């Protein structure tokens, strides 16, 4: 069996399309395919890593009405401390090859935004996949934040969700994700591969990609296209 480091290095060669075909080949048709509402915040985002899961639940009870800036700052701080309790669990020592997967039940709250995106990038996280909202979209894209989400919004997570549990099986965009599952994301969407089946999946994915590169290389030549990086994925 491959080590985690060997596996993630190898699986990064493949497109979600190749890996999905590999899932089909071992009988896991659509088993790891997140629904079509899970989209990158801009074209061209691609990452693969091991799932660190976060469960948030819809806000219980009423939210406070604040009369002063000071009161609001304190209230917002308390809310964020509750919602973002996972942040301190993620450090430069454990963030390598990590994808944060958040189940917030599709709530339209902007859990991810320009600040937390940079915060997680500084720690070394590969990316984030949210069954919920991302805001500050313009700034997050300027920062090249690696984020997929089911909602785009300007609303805050405050007052809309609260903490649940960390690193447990969650449901994200229609797929059960266990801690340590392999999250594969590109322009086509997000695919979840069980860690214990990943080597089988890659065996068939390699065949798919080899055949694709061979055929497209021939087409490139006939059409007069210059070779590009998509023909070099296996090198």
pLDDT in tens, 203-222: 999 999 999 999 999 999 99
For residue 65, the SS3 value is coil
Alpha carbon separation from 7 to 74, 146, 230 (Å, rounded): 45, 21, 21
CA–CA separation, 29 and 131 (whole Å): 21
Q: Where are the alpha helices (DSSP H) in 47-165?
A: 69-83, 114-123, 137-142
Q: Please list the ranges in the chain whose pLDDT falls under 70.
A: none
CATH number assigned to the domain covering 33-195: 3.50.30.40
Q: Say what percent of the chain tops pLDDT 90.
A: 98
Whole-number pLDDT of residue 215: 96
What pTM was computed for the model? 0.95
Query: What pLDDT digit, counting tens, does each position of 182-192 carry?
Result: 999 999 999 99
CA–CA separation, 107 and 5 (whole Å): 34
């Amino acid at each position: 069996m491959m080590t985690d480091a060997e596996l993630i290095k190898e699986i990064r060669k493949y497109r979600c399309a190749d890996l999905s075909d590999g899932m089909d080949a071992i009988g896991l048709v659509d088993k790891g395919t997140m629904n079509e509402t899970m989209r990158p915040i801009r074209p061209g985002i691609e990452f693969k890593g091991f799932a660190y899961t976060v469960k948030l639940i819809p806000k219980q009870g009423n939210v406070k009405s604040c009369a002063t800036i000071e009161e609001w700052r304190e209230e917002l701080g308390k809310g964020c401390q509750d919602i973002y309790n996972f942040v301190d669990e993620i450090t430069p020592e454990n963030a390598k090859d990590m994808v944060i997967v958040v189940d917030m039940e599709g709530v339209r709250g902007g859990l991810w935004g320009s600040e937390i995106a940079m915060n997680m990038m500084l720690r070394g996280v590969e990316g984030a996949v949210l069954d919920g909202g991302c805001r500050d979209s313009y700034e997050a894209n300027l920062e090249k934040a690696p984020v997929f989400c089911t909602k785009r919004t300007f609303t805050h997570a405050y007052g809309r969700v609260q903490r649940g549990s960390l690193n447990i099986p969650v449901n994200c965009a229609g797929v059960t994700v266990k801690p340590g599952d392999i999250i594969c994301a590109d322009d086509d969407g997000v695919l979840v591969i069980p860690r214990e089946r990943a080597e089988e999946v890659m065996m068939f994915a390699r065949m798919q990609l080899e055949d694709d590169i061979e055929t497209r290389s021939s087409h490139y030549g006939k059409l007069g296209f210059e070779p590009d990086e998509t023909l070099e994925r296996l090198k």
